[in-house]
Amino acid sequence: MFSDPKGQSMHLTIRLDHVTHRYRDAVALDDVTFQIGTGVTALLGPNGAGKTTLLSLLSTAAAPDNGNVEVFGHRAD
C-alpha cells in the first residue's frame, strides 16, 4: 500500500521504474517512473507522446528496453 497525494492509503496497481523504450532511433519513453493506485486514471497527451507505447508495455505486448514494469505485483516481462 502507498499514500495518495491526500495521504489516503491505496493499493498499488501499476509501477514503472526508470522505463525506456525505443523504436529504432526514436525514443518513445525515456526514463519514465511513476506508480498508480486504485481508482480512475486518465492517460492524455499529444500524438507521439508515448501513450500507446505505455499501454503496450503494461499489456506485455512489448518489453521495455530498460527499467521495470509491474502490474498488480507481477513484473511485466
Measured CA to CA, the distance from residue 54 to residue 50 in angstroms comes to 6
CA distance 52 to 54: 5
Taking the C-alpha atoms of residue 23 and residue 1, their distance in angstroms, rounded to an integer, is 34
Q: pLDDT tens, position by position, for the chain (77 residues)?
A: 555 556 655 578 999 999 999 999 999 999 999 999 888 899 999 999 999 999 999 999 999 999 999 998 888 87
Ordered strands of the 26-37 beta sheet: 26-37, 12-23, 66-71, 74-75
Q: What is the pTM of this model?
A: 0.80
If you ran DSSP here, which 8-state letter would residue 61 be given? S
Is the separation of the CB atoms in 32 and 42 below 8 Å? no
